[in-house]
Chains A and B, each alone.
Chain A
Amino acid sequence: MELNNEVIINNLVKRFDEIVAVNEVSLEVPAGSIFGLLGPNGAGKSTTLRLLCTLLRPDSGTASVAGHDILEEPVNVRECTGVLPEEGSHTLYPSLTSYENLEYFAKLYDVPEEEAKKRIEDLLKFMDLWERRNDPAGELSTGNRQRLALCRALLHNPSVLLLDEPTSSLDPIAAKRVRELILKLAKQYGQTFFINSHNLAEVQRLCDYIAIIDEGKILLSGRTDELRRRLQSKQVFKLRVADNIETAKSIAEGLDFIFDVSIESDSLMLTILDPVSNNSVLIRKLLNANIAIIELAEEEMTLEDLYLQVIKEEEQ
């Protein structure tokens, strides 16, 4: 099936003097899907996003957004994209009210006046900011400013949304509402989302597609469900025993479905292949050796573990 890709990135490169912030990045985001670009600090996420919204010019490579080339038709690209810049809460006019901030951008995005009024009201109400519409943006809390910046990105009903860490600085309830809104907009209205984040849990929950970037390079990319399967096929467990931790370690090392055994304070960290069928084997072996098990618990996969695992797999 031919997928209609709203964002297509081809070998994009951006250098800042010595640093190659974005290094031969290629990605595709199908229309109506939610894409998450994950990576540690300085990985090149924000630079990639700024290239897509035509703020920066690439040194080489091409990209198109909503069918428009970022170099050939930058104005069209900007018309069809809504952008939440990094630290969005700091990108509002502090002396203008919440309402005026949105009103100004509605004009710049050519939203007809009547429609703008309605959309501003709907968005402010949705984000619980309607009561604060006449307060200067500079007097809002960081989280409220972040929500206002999100309203600004959604204002002109763009077909592609480029959001740089949209839920950073939001409280859990607000973050959940924003995730729900993103899901609704993507699934009901077919808007496409390109989201930067370092929050793996959030990206896993929200995104249809994920890519991991580090030092400007894409380490892996694919459908979230496929990556999740790949992650779940090998998982890290934490084993706590009452004593004899060395014996437990040598037992674990002797099992062919266990990779990577290490001692962390009073526990063993084990990477277990297919834990669903293999954990019971491990437990039986330990019990047979009279080792008192206090706990065998699944370690939550952190972004770091995922990187480490991806990097290790690349090497093998």
Chain B
Amino acid sequence: MNLSKSLVVAKADIKMAMNYKYVKFGVLGMGAMGPLFSVLSVPMIYILDPNASSYIEFILPYISSMLAMFAIIPAALISANSFVGEREQNTLEPLLCTPLTDMELLVGKSLSAFIPSILILVFGTLITEIASNILLFAFGFPMMLIPDMPGLFLVFASGPPMIFVVVFVMIIISGRVSRVYEAYQVSGVSVLVYIFSMLVPTMFIGSSMPFGQVIWFTNILTFMISILLLLITSYLALRMFNRDRMITQI
């Protein structure tokens, strides 16, 4: 296993995916959307309603889920191109004729989706924290963690495994779908896990359980679900990822 070979593949795949306008604007747009949405929501609510601190805790969980969700969609966009697109444009065969091992190829293609997504995840969250507080400070409101601690946990504990889930789902379905956009839509369904982390807290509103605990509970559960999905999809994907199968399905 030669990591530098995988990086060559990853770099080329990112470059080629970005040559498509919809991928380029998709990735950049998603990257901007999370922070934009988050930065605008909390400070805006404060600015519009100075009494917001009484209910702001109900809004914060959405921010972390959104940040994670928008960071994962680029992985679906890029991996659809690097797995299914490669087959669609018949370039898989010469690629598989090179001395790359199956593992180097798998790692390279996974990294092409992972690197942009993880960058969006990390920098999106960082920008959200900084920009929100600049706004809050500028308008004279108390500074706070946006996303808060359980939110940061959700983003950084479940985000990276979910990016891999998207890639593994792509490998599993790549033999069955022939078009890039189908592949992108199917694997994009993985983001639904964050609907869970958004919905569960709403069910506890008004219950006796302290809301902070509900959020921690939900986010830890989401994290566990993402690990479970990771285990299942990685098991299936690694079993399916071999040359003979990829070529026979051309």
Contacts and interface: CB of A to CB of B under 8 A. Distances in A.
Contacts of B5: 107-108
A32 interface: no
Contacts of B91: 91-93
B16 A55 contact: no
Nearest to A162: B97
User: B interface, how many residues as a size bin?
Assistant: 20 to 34
A310 B248 CA distance: 32
Nearest to A81: B97
6 contacts: A54-B97, A55-B96, A55-B244, A85-B90, A90-B89, A90-B90
A94 B97 contact: no
Interface stretch (B70-78, B98-106, B192-200, B201-209): B98-106
A95 B97 contact: no
Contacts of B94: 83, 85, 91, 105, 149, 152
Nearest to A78: B99
Interface string A21-57: 0000000000000000000000000000010011111
B19 interface: yes
Contacts of A107: 5, 8
Contact of B90 (A57, A83, A91, A95): A91
Interface string B229-250: 0000000000000011001100
Contacts of A110: 99
A127 interface: no
B101 A57 contact: no
B57 interface: no
A93 B90 contact: no
Interface-central residue, B15, B94, B248, by most chain A CB under 10 Å: B94
Contact of A55 (B15, B89, B97, B101): B97
A85 B99 contact: no
Given A83-B94, A152-B94, A56 B244 contact: yes
A91 B244 CA distance: 18
B93 A55 contact: yes
Contacts of A109: 98-99
Contact of A75 (B90, B95, B99): B99
B214 interface: no
A14 to B, nearest CB: 10
A92 B94 CA distance: 8
Contact of B93 (A75, A81, A85, A95): A85
A87 interface: yes
A108 B244 contact: no
Contacts of B19: 95-96
Nearest to A50: B247
B12 interface: yes
Nearest to B86: A93
Given A96-B12, A108-B95, 14 more contacts: A54-B243, A56-B243, A56-B244, A56-B247, A56-B248, A78-B97, A90-B90, A93-B16, A95-B16, A96-B15, A108-B8, A108-B99, A109-B98, A109-B99
Given A85-B94, A91-B94, A93-B91, A57 B8 contact: no
Nearest to A55: B247
Interface string A75-118: 10011010101010011111110000000110111100000000
Contacts of B95: 108
Interface string B90-123: 1101111111110000000000000000000000
Nearest to B8: A107
A149 B145 CA distance: 55
Contacts of A96: 12, 15-16, 19
Contacts of A108: 5, 8-9, 95, 98-100
B99 A55 contact: no
Interface in B102-155: none
A87 B89 contact: no
A55 B247 CA distance: 7
Closest 3 CB pairs of A and B: A95-B19, A83-B97, A108-B98
A5 to B, nearest CB: 21
Contacts of A78: 97-100
B45 to A, nearest CB: 44
A85 B100 CA distance: 17
Interface in B22-39: none
